Amino acid sequence: MISQDKLRRLFRKSVNRFLSVQRAARILQLNKAAAVELMACLEDQGYIEEAGLDGLWQLSIRGKLIVQTNFKKAFTEETLKQSVENLLERASMVNASSEYPYYISCIKIINDYPIGNKGEPVYALFSLDRKQLSNEAFRAAEDNLRKRYTGNFRRIIDYAYYPRKTIGIFLKSGSHALQLTEDYETGKKEGHTIFTA
């Protein structure tokens, strides 16, 4: 009848507001007859209830629950494979760059591999080791990463671990299909090793 995304959009725009047939038709781009049928169906299923005014409805508790519920996004196979390829490329860049004081020693995918059909994000662990730099060069590389940070280090731990965190942020680079975690014992964990230095 109507997709779940469109239904959630209608409900999100109707929180703390009255809902009429005309408003539903406008939001969902339906004709009036289809909107009347939809409103009757939603009322029968308990998502909306009459508001006490003629021709107006409001969200029921069940409808409000749909608005508040977070659904996991299913990623396509292409997106997942491209995210893994980009991850491997960025790992090579980190290891080759003198900008970073650490190198990536291992990356493991801990869910199904090779990637099959669309589904959940790729969960991966990575471990970092110190590059063979002098103490002065190592500290200089860490300080350069900290200088680029525009926020405040609220705790000393944030200050100390920021260079490591920067590498994790760079590896992820805005990909919602990747869930990366730094782990000191990545080599001992179960999973599929996709990168080693």
Q: What is the pLDDT of residue 150?
A: 83
Residue 1 confidence (pLDDT)? 65
pLDDT at 76: 87
Q: Are 176 and 121 in contact (CB under 8 A)?
A: yes
> Domain check: are 105 and 173 in the same one?
yes
Tokens of 47: 């998502």
Same-domain check for residues 53 and 104: no
Its domain, for residue 63, covers 4-68
153 & 124 share domain: yes
Of 44, 68, 92, which one is at a domain's C-terminal end? 68
Beta bridge partners of 128: 104
Q: Are residues 134 and 151 in the same domain?
A: yes
193 to 34, 56, 104, 106, 131: CA distances (angstroms): 53, 58, 12, 7, 21
Q: Are residues 90 and 61 in the same domain?
A: no
CATH of residue 15:
1.10.10.10
82 with 178, same domain: the answer is: yes
The residue from 68, 101, 117 where one domain ends is: 68
Residues 21 and 111 in one domain: no
Q: Does 14 share its domain with 100?
A: no
Instruction: Say how many domains are in the chain.
Output: 2
Encoded tokens for 71: 């659904």
Same-domain check for residues 49 and 129: no
Output the tens digit of pLDDT for each of the chain's 197 residues. 677 788 888 898 888 899 999 999 999 999 999 999 999 999 999 999 998 888 899 999 998 888 887 767 778 888 999 999 999 999 999 999 999 999 999 999 998 877 777 678 899 999 999 999 999 999 999 999 999 888 888 888 888 889 999 999 999 988 888 999 999 887 788 888 999 98
Among 18, 49, 68, give the residue marking a domain's end: 68
Q: Do 49 and 88 share a domain, yes or no?
A: no
CA dihedral sign, ordered 163, 167, 170, 176: negative
Same domain assignment for residues 52 and 96: no
Dihedral of alpha carbons 23, 25, 26, 31, sign: negative
Give the residue carrying structure tokens 């760059």. 97
For residues 38 and 94, membership in a common domain is answered with no
Q: What is the pLDDT of residue 45?
A: 92
